[in-house]
């Protein structure tokens, strides 16, 4: 595993406007980053066999099971329930036995924010798991909303009979063929733990297997059709198919529910298994309450600013951070980032371009990986002429110095960046002595009277009975501190009231400044750090 880039803070300026192809900044930048770079989740599921310490449970298998158990509260007749993070309130039910549900949520909670609901993270984790384990790429759509209470107790259990399972899956929106598919696709990784299913598994707890796991198939950390081929060839090792206790052999009843037709199809055709699992899991993660409307499919942006922000530093206006470049092309895979020409060209505050408004960026090492393609980061540290400023930029780049340049213009309009009112992101931190979290902002002082200047910040607070955080939004005024080190800018600050010492949660903060007749906004997401 290569070293991952810190996901946060990531900065984005100006309001998101409208429903074109996804551009930066957008409402799902944090999820897009985690989808593409997988900074937080990646290490735990790459490789697929990565264990949850200190046991030998696989994070990948736990996360996939968690996604199904959360979804399983959906009822097609009422349109209620689905993948909505209600699982957090349901962990003490026998049907969710084991440490998997809270383990998973505890992994995910550090990613929660105003723009990344727990349910979106559960779905994203399932998508990343399937890909990391060698399964299909599942289209990912964000926009899920977290439940505020438990759903019905409708997760299947192995001791229930086939008729019960058929009707439960029908209620969730899946017919018999699809039920067989979902169970086979789910049970291609991981296994059953004796500590949680003592009536199903015996004599499997040892020093090296403290939870007494028995795997579903011989390739328990690979998303492949062995669950089906072993079943059809009579060599299944699945403890809830061929286990000693016939009552809990639900996989056997389900796999044979159509006379083994679906399982035979999977066994004889690995590609068919992959494509069926892909479409079934896509439906699984998109099974949400009817009141929820998912956004368009999110895919890696080819060019995206990463932790890139303006700052007033030592008397200069500086644009610093990184540019992320992604591609699925063979040329990109073969690229050596040190040789890639990457130029940031900006437009000044008056909308003018100039050949001199350009800076070449240098490769950042070591390179990072993506499950979806090639990913390179380039460092920017550009001292701007504060009098001329900046309003947007583009990135011209190539994967090979001899190839024609690709124009990275963010869907046509360039990457917007306003320099009138912005967070001084390198001063957004929690004072280690006092515990106070404050933000600093810079606002131009020659643009007319400042009508209103405030921040609105959203952070997670714990709620009883679930690991999932509830998001709270607070507004507070920015107060002028005084001159900055640049005559054009004044420094402003605001103290955040996080109700005590901040948790590990991300804080999404909007800045709004009404200056003259115009409103300027900036948004900044940070995971608190100390200063």
Ligand X SMILES: *[C@@H]1O[C@H](CO)[C@@H](O)[C@H](O)[C@H]1NC(C)=O
* Residues forming the site for ligand HEM (CB under 6 A): 57-58, 61-62, 64-65, 68, 98, 100, 156-158, 165, 182-183, 186-187, 189-193, 196-197, 240, 250, 254
Shortest separation between residue 465's beta carbon and ligand X, angstroms: 5
Shortest separation between residue 32's beta carbon and ligand X, angstroms: 29
| For ligand X, the closer CB: 361 or 429 | 429
CB contact at 8 A, 217 and 238: yes
Instruction: Annotate each residue in 163-192 with x if it binds ligand X (CB under 6 A) or - if it does not, as one string.
Output: -----x--x---xxxx--------------
User: Residue 51: helix, strand or coil by DSSP?
Assistant: strand
294 binds ligand X (CB under 6 A): no
387 binds ligand X (CB under 6 A): no
CB contact at 8 A, 135 and 143: no
| For ligand X, the closer CB: 166 or 320 | 166
- HSE (CB half, 13 Å, CA atoms) of 316? 9
Beta-carbon contacts of 345 under 8 Å, excluding residues fewer than 6 positions away, are 353, 357, 358, 393, 394, 395, 396
350 binds ligand X (CB under 6 A): no
Shortest separation between residue 22's beta carbon and ligand HEM, angstroms: 27
| Span from 245-253, 338-346, 364-372, 413-421 in contact with ligand X (CB under 6 A) | 245-253
Distance linking the first and last C-alpha atoms of the chain:
30
Number of neighbouring beta carbons within 10 Å of residue 436? 15
Alpha-carbon torsion, ordered 183, 185, 188, 193, to 10 deg: -30
Shortest separation between residue 369's beta carbon and ligand HEM, angstroms: 24
102 binds ligand X (CB under 6 A): yes
CB contact at 8 A, 4 and 42: yes
Residue 28: asked if its preceding bond is cis (omega within 30°), the reply is no
Tokens representing residue 432 in the block: 């280690």
Instruction: Annotate each residue in 75-94 with x if it binds ligand X (CB under 6 A) or - if it does not, as one string.
Output: x-xx------------xx--
Q: Which does 360 bind (CB under 5 to 8 A by kind): ligand HEM, ligand X, none?
A: none
| Span from 37-45, 124-132, 324-332, 428-436 in contact with ligand X (CB under 6 A) | 428-436
Q: Show the CA angle centred on residue 529, arms to residues 100 and 107, nearest 5°.
A: 5
CA dist., res. 13 & res. 520, Å (int): 9
Interface residues toward ligand X, by CB under 6 A: 75, 77-78, 91-92, 102, 152, 154, 159, 168, 171, 175-178, 199, 231-232, 234, 245, 247-248, 256, 259-260, 354, 356, 431, 433-434, 465-467, 483, 487, 531
């Amino acid at each position: 595993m290569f070293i991952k880039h810190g996901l946060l803070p990531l900065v984005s300026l100006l309001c998101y406007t409208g429903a074109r192809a996804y551009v930066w900044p957008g409402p799902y930048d944090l999820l897009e980053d985690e989808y593409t770079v997988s900074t937080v989740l990646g290490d735990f599921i790459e490789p697929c066999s990565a264990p949850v310490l200190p046991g030998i449970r696989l994070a990948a298998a736990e996360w996939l099971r968690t996604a199904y158990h959360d979804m399983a509260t959906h009822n097609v007749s009422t349109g209620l329930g689905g993948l909505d993070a209600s699982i957090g309130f349901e962990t003490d039910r026998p049907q969710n036995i084991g440490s998997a549900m809270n383990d998973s949520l505890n992994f995910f909670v550090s990613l929660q924010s105003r723009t990344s609901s727990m349910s979106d993270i559960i779905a994203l984790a399932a998508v990343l798991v399937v890909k990391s384990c060698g399964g299909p790429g599942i289209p990912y759509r964000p926009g899920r909303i977290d439940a505020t209470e438990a759903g019905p107790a409708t997760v299947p259990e192995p001791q229930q009979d086939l008729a019960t399972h058929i009707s439960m899956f029908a209620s969730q929106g899946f017919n018999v063929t699809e039920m067989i598919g979902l169970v086979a696709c789910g049970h291609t990784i991981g296994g059953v733990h004796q500590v949680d299913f003592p009536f199903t598994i015996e004599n499997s707890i040892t020093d090296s297997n403290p939870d007494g796991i028995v795997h579903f198939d011989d390739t328990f950390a690979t998303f492949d059709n062995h669950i089906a081929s072993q079943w059809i060839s009579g060599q299944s090792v699945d403890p809830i198919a061929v286990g000693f206790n016939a009552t809990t052999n639900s996989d056997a009843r389900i796999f044979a529910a159509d006379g083994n037709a679906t399982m035979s199809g999977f066994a004889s055709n690995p590609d068919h298994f992959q494509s069926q699992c892909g479409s079934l899991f896509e439906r699984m993660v998109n099974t949400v309450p009817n009141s929820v409307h998912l956004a368009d499919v999110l895919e890696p942006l080819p060019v995206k600013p990463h932790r890139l922000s303006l700052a007033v530093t030592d008397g200069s206006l500086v644009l610093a951070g990184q540019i992320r470049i992604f591609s699925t092309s063979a040329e990109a895979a073969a690229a050596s980032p040190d040789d890639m020409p990457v130029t940031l060209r900006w437009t000044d505050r008056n909308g003018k371009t100039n050949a001199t408004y350009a800076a070449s960026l240098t490769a950042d090492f070591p390179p990072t990986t993506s499950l979806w393609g090639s990913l390179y980061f380039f460092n920017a540290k550009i001292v701007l002429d504060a009098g001329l400023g900046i309003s947007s930029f583009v990135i011209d780049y190539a994967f090979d110095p001899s190839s024609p340049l690709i124009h990275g213009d963010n869907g046509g309009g360039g990457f917007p960046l306003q320099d009138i009112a912005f967070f001084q992101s390198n001063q957004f931190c929690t004072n280690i002595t006092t515990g106070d979290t404050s933000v600093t902002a810079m606002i131009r002082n020659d643009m007319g009277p400042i009508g209103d200047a405030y921040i609105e910040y959203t952070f997670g607070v714990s709620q009883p009975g679930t690991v999932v955080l509830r998001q709270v939004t607070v507004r507070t005024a920015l107060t002028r501190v005084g001159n900055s080190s640049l005559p054009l800018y004044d420094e402003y600050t605001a103290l955040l009231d996080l109700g005590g010492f901040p948790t590990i949660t991300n804080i999404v903060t909007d800045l709004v400044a009404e200056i003259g007749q115009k409103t300027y906004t900036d948004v900044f997401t940070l995971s608190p750090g100390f200063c």
